[in-house]
Amino acid sequence: MVSAVIGARTRRGLASSIAQRFPRSVVYGLVLLLVVANTLNIAADLAAMGASLHLVVGGAALAYSIVLGLACLGAEIVVPYHRYAGYLRILTLVLLVYVIAALTLHIPWGRVAVATFAPSIALDRDLMLTIVAVFGTTISPYLFFWPASQEAEEQRLRNPGAKRPAASRSAARSPADSARGAEETEARYRRISLDTWTGMALSNVIAFCIIATTAATLHARGITHIETAAQAAEALRPVAGELTFLLFAAGIVGTGLLAVPVLAGSAAYAVADAAGLRGSLELPARSARGFYGIIATATLGGAALAATKVNVVAMLFWAAVVNGLVAVPIMIAMMVLVSGRIGAKSFPLPAWLRALGWIATLIMAIAAVALVGSLLHSQ
């Protein structure tokens, strides 16, 4: 919500907005961290998509990963993203099967509630890795740059003649203009709030059901380390039966086809913002060659990493850990941007939202520091 408000208010991407308050070296450092995290994420997603297709139709998982990477790149260049995403959203509904599974399987919900709200904590390496990985899949770096850029895009599409607000200019406005502007700001904030709360609630409910379903099926049978896509798919076996691999693959491929363009696109928006390049997923490639060149580099780089012999599940896990670590400095920069006397005036956020932003940043930072400490201690 904070990042979306930044994009809506400034009509700029997040990197460009951060550059108004921080030295260029800080901005370039944050963008570099994002590009690295996103490229690893793309690699993990493409590898998982290839492994999932292999479960259903056989053949070479590596070939599927490369072909899917090229397909994502081609679609991103040829098809406007809002249309492309509309085609694929139906595939992501397959993930609701995990919700159905959680409701139909025999899961001891009392124990689940106790373990959720009063977990047994041992600050060892494995637990801290898992916590940071879970945070990294929920609060990923691209989730900051993407909404800011998309809100800026929408503002520019709705008001193509309007200029970006200057960093330190305060033009005189009539009372009627001020009232109209306040109404538009409030309406925009309500839309951002509804969109964010709905999306995050659905994604976290599904993630929780995946965790509970996996615990009730795999962990209950003594499988505590998942090493292959086939093992992960078995969590759906009690509900899906013979369709287990098909539904699992549909969910992984559907979300991957949506996620890879977002990951590559958010990296491209960030780099374009930092370097002052023209860039938009709504522009044809000939009008934004540098922007689409960044997308191609990130996507093809991810495909190349997916071609390595690294275990798919391990790649997904470590990509999530990297996301959890990289998110911390970006969150700090964002919250500094919207806080303080100048920031609070430029970005009038509710006090509760600003407080939650700082609390989330603190929790992520504590988890990251605890992980680094546990890694050092285990040496």
At residue 81, does pLDDT exceed 80?
A: no
Element holding 278 (H helix, E strand): none
Q: Is the pLDDT of residue 167 over 50?
A: no
Smallest CA-to-CA distance from 291 within 93, 110, 153, 124 is with 153
Going by pLDDT thresholds of 50, 70 and 90, the confidence category of residue 270 is very high
Query: CA-based Rg of the chain, rounded to a whole angstrom?
Result: 22
Chain mean position to CA 215: 24
Least confident of 1-5, 172-176, 322-326: 172-176
Question: What count of other Cβ atoms lies within 10 Å of the Cβ of residue 309?
Answer: 5
Task: Enumerate long-range contacts of 309-315, CB under 8 Å, 24 or more apart.
Answer: 310/47, 311/227, 311/228, 312/44, 312/47, 312/48, 312/50, 312/51, 312/61, 312/228, 312/229, 313/226, 313/227, 313/228, 313/229, 313/231, 313/232, 314/227, 315/40, 315/43, 315/44, 315/47, 315/48
**Residues 218-266: pLDDT tens digits?**
988 898 888 888 999 999 998 888 889 999 999 999 899 889 988 999 9
Domain 2-159+182-378 homologous superfamily, CATH: Amino acid/polyamine transporter I (1.20.1740.10)
Least Cα distance to 4 among 204, 125, 185, 175 occurs for 185
Residue 367 has pLDDT above 90, yes or no: yes
Spatial separation of the C-alpha atoms in residues 130 and 136, rounded to whole Å: 10
Select from 147, 140, 137, 124 the least CA-distant residue to 208: 137
Average pLDDT over residues 85-110: 86
Compare 168 and 370 and report the one with higher pLDDT: 370
Domain range annotation of the chain: 2-159+182-378
What are the backbone dihedrals phi and psi of residue 218, each rounded to the nearest 5 degrees, phi first? -80, -55
Residue 157 confidence (pLDDT): 67
Q: What is the pLDDT of residue 171?
A: 47
Q: Mean per-residue pLDDT for 337-354?
A: 80
Give the model confidence (pLDDT) of 119-151 as tens digits: 887 778 888 999 999 999 888 999 999 889 888
The residue ranking higher by pLDDT, 93 or 35, is 35
pLDDT tops 90 at residue 52: yes
pLDDT computed for residue 318 by the predictor: 93
| Sign of CA pseudo-dihedral 155, 358, 334, 257 | negative
